[in-house]
Amino acid sequence: MDIGGFQKTSLIDFPETIACIIFTQGCNFICPYCHNPDLVADPQKRVGNFYDETEIFRFLKKRQGFIEGVVITGGEPTLQTDLFFFCQKIKDMGYKLKLDSNGARPRVLENLIKNKLVDFISMDIKTNLENYHLVIPEKFDTANIVESTRILMDKAPAYEFRTTCTRPFVSKKIMDDIGKMISGAPKYILQKCSRKVSVLDPDFLSTDKNFFSDKEMIELQNTINQYVTASIIR
């Protein structure tokens, strides 16, 4: 695994679970508002050393009984060729496992679910299908996004969908399109884009119109609430 970051404790990233977070290196999307810009680069172009996988498993062994779960996020974890075996090792230690994904590789998600290697999946829905070209630098079949949503809704043990709300990727019309795609989902997270962190495209932060007010966030929430059981603005 190409591990670009490691956080030893989190109380908020895995619902009702004390967890550590493993950040994988590399992503196939180029969201300008990405809050982990150092993790987007291809592993071959990373500046600095990767985290030692052996040290992480040594930490997990020592913390058994103190932390309950592991979150694997990114970057995009499903790009890692040894993700399956990495998850197996974590599950063999008795930990619960949460995976964050952009949904671009549905077969990987399905394989992890089928083999009971994940307990919870958070899938980021970037925008509606017709606008995915704004966040991916190459030709991409958005049918993969639809398939991933169906796999989670039909097969995942627990899951949530979430969207970072910023223009031009989100509007009330786009939120309505997203709602139709995930209609019946139990939980949806609307993430308000922060201007207080480093992002992939620093110029993005300087454009006021990219950001929603609190009132506008509630309007977006009201739109998605027509389709999901519960929603949270975070």
In this predicted model, what pLDDT tens digit does every residue of 129-151 receive, in sequence order? 999 999 997 889 999 999 999 99
CATH number at residue 11: 3.20.20.70
CB under 8 A, 24+ apart: contacts of 34-40: 34/199, 34/200, 35/194, 35/197, 35/198, 35/199, 36/5, 36/74, 36/75, 37/198, 37/199, 37/200, 38/4, 38/5, 39/4, 39/5, 39/74, 39/75, 40/75, 40/200
Q: Is the pLDDT of residue 45 over 80?
A: no
pLDDT of residue 234: 94
**88, 111 contact by CB (below 8 A):** no
In this predicted model, what pLDDT tens digit does every residue of 180-232 receive, in sequence order? 999 999 999 999 998 888 899 999 999 999 999 999 999 999 999 999 999 99
* pLDDT above 90: percentage of residues in the chain: 90
Average pLDDT over every residue of 30-55? 82
User: What is the pTM for the complete model shown?
Assistant: 0.95
CB under 8 A, 24+ apart: contacts of 84-89: 84/108, 84/111, 84/112, 84/115, 84/117, 86/1, 86/53, 87/112, 87/117, 87/118, 88/115, 88/117, 89/57
pLDDT of residue 153: 98
> Domain count of the chain?
1
Q: Is the pLDDT of residue 41 over 80?
A: no
- Domain containing 56: what range? 3-233
- Structure letter (DSSP) for residue 191: E
In this predicted model, what pLDDT tens digit does every residue of 22-40 receive, in sequence order? 999 999 999 999 999 889 8
**120, 15 contact by CB (below 8 A):** yes
